[in-house]
Structure 1
Amino acid sequence: MYNPTVARLTYRAVLGRRRAAILFILPALLLVMAVAVRSFNGADDQIAASLLGGFGIAAMVPLIGVIAGTGAIGPEIDDGSIVYLLSKPLKRSSIIFTKLIVAIAVTMAFSAIPMLIAGFVLNGNGQQIAIAYTVAALVASIAYSAVFLLLGTVSRNAVVIGLIYAIVWESVFGSLVEGARTLSVQQWALALAEDIAGEGLVGSDVGLPLAIVLLASVTTLATWYAGRKLRVLKLAGEE
């Protein structure tokens, strides 16, 4: 299923000069804030949880997911270069699977690793906070990558739609409308963090069993539907 050639082309697209610059900004900002907070406040478990959750999980991870997920395929469809891949004797499900793996790898690298470092800087992993939020970032990276890869497959406005979901739905509606929290990748990921660090420091409105089911279901369905959409995508002159 995994194709090295497709992976190489996808990494080149996602980590292009412009996108790479954007990808580095958010992790760098998190680390700068972690150093500043530790310098001024010392090791504080609650502050560490608030920063990692309020900025890391709520903003950094979904935004990086948007960049990596949509960038894995959206630009190729927009500029027509996807024709190069579709004209090759490759299964279209293999193309989607490979691009998903690349999107997940990039999202994890630019979100989970900085999250772990920031957690240790903030309080030395006291109360398992660094580990808890790193696990949440890893799990969220998988779901976000699948969802935003699907968006890149079905819409030319994938980045805009992704930003609306990440910022408006998860951050705004997720904090104001109780029912919206159940349909939030952020809340599903926080359920795992809560199980590791404890309810006092991490809070989620979704129970762990339901969160696992929803994460697995959304990732699977988004990947399947992205593959289906790519299979029915016709090349110019193709019957």
Structure 2
Amino acid sequence: MSATTATRPPGPPRPPAGIPAAGSGTGPRFFHPTVARLTYRGLLGRRRALLLFALPALLLVIVGAVRALAGADDSTAHDVLQGFALSGVVPLVGVIAGTGAIGPEIDDGSIVYLLSKPIRRGTIVTTKLLVAIGVTVAFCAIPTLLAGFVLNGNGQRLAVAYAAASAVAAVAYSAVFLMLGVLTRHAVVVGLVYALLWEGVIGNVVPGARTLSVQQWAVAVAQKIGRGDLISSDVGLSTAVVLLVLVTAGATWFAAHRLRGLKITGEE
């Protein structure tokens, strides 16, 4: 959300249960159980949940068909796991979970109930990020691991390598897309453009852009874990790890910083 003011929606206030009503911002610094529970319910209790389940299901249907048609083949497994799972499913699930962890609350104004309570705004961001990471990893890394075993039985450790890469990418994507959820009410659109255009097309085609792609950083992790020469990244492992940490930490800090700038206004 680009504006710096959150407006309370009309109607009688109904603050989320379990959030303390008074205090001065004390409590846990990085994780708030009630905020986590509310975020989890928001992600899996709306129509977003249908997409979260649909994308991994589509991946498994596709790999089942590929295995039936092509048999167990390491090269095919690599192409599907990197070209569809890592470059397609992971960023899309990241968009859904990352923006959905906070964006809808800002858009409909219900975020005022959290901001008015004695919870550090940095804690709100880190809690929602941890939930988004958990959801993204669960809906990406586990299906990718299963897909790898279906395609070639983990030959050349491709299943494990790309499952680890999916988990690593899920952390960075969740942070980036959660930040977008704080910055703009069009976070889903911006996130989809980034995921499909930059990560899905430019990051795979333009050599110079690959070094600035979360996907390529994750592939560097997969390359370290996998065997053989099928997996190849344009970024070294050390550089990839540093960039993943910097992007995740930077996006988290900036989201918390912008959330601190939101001011609560109400209509009597």
What is residue 188 of structure 2 aligned with on the other side? Answer: 159
- What amino acid is the match of 2:211? T
TM-score w.r.t. the length of structure 1 is: 0.97
What is residue 146 of structure 2 aligned with on the other side? Answer: 117
What is residue 4 of structure 1 aligned with on the other side? Answer: 33
What is residue 93 of structure 2 aligned with on the other side? Answer: 64
Structure 1 stretch 221-230 or stretch 191-200: which is displaced more? 191-200
Q: Distance in 2 between matches of 1:212 and 1:199?
A: 21
Identity %: 64
Deviations 1:134-173 (Å, cap 9, x if unpaired)? 0000000000000000000111111111011100111221
1:39 aligned to 68, 73, 96, which one? 68
Following superposition, the deviation at residue 199 of structure 1 comes to 6.1
- What amino acid is the match of 1:136? A
1:21 aligns with 2:50: yes
What is residue 22 of structure 2 aligned with on the other side? Answer: none
What is residue 26 of structure 2 aligned with on the other side? Answer: none
1:89 aligns with 2:109: no
TM alignment of 1:209-220, pairs within 5 A: 209-220=238-249
1:192 aligns with 2:210: no
Q: Which has the larger radius of gyration?
A: 2
Q: Distance in 2 between matches of 1:228 and 1:199?
A: 44
Q: Distance in 2 between matches of 1:234 and 1:120?
A: 50
What is residue 175 of structure 1 aligned with on the other side? Answer: 204
Q: Distance in 2 between matches of 1:164 and 1:200?
A: 31
SS at match of 1:52: helix
Following superposition, the deviation at residue 16 of structure 1 comes to 2.3
SS at match of 1:205: coil
Gaps of 5+ in 1: none
Following superposition, the deviation at residue 72 of structure 1 comes to 0.2
Query: Once superposed, what is the RMSD of the aligned Cα atoms?
Result: 1.0
Following superposition, the deviation at residue 198 of structure 1 comes to 4.0
Number of equivalenced pairs = 237
Q: Runs of at least 4 residues of structure 1 off by over 4 A?
A: none
Q: Distance in 1 between matches of 2:234 and 2:58?
A: 27
Query: Which structure shows the bigger proportion of residues in helix conformation?
Result: 1
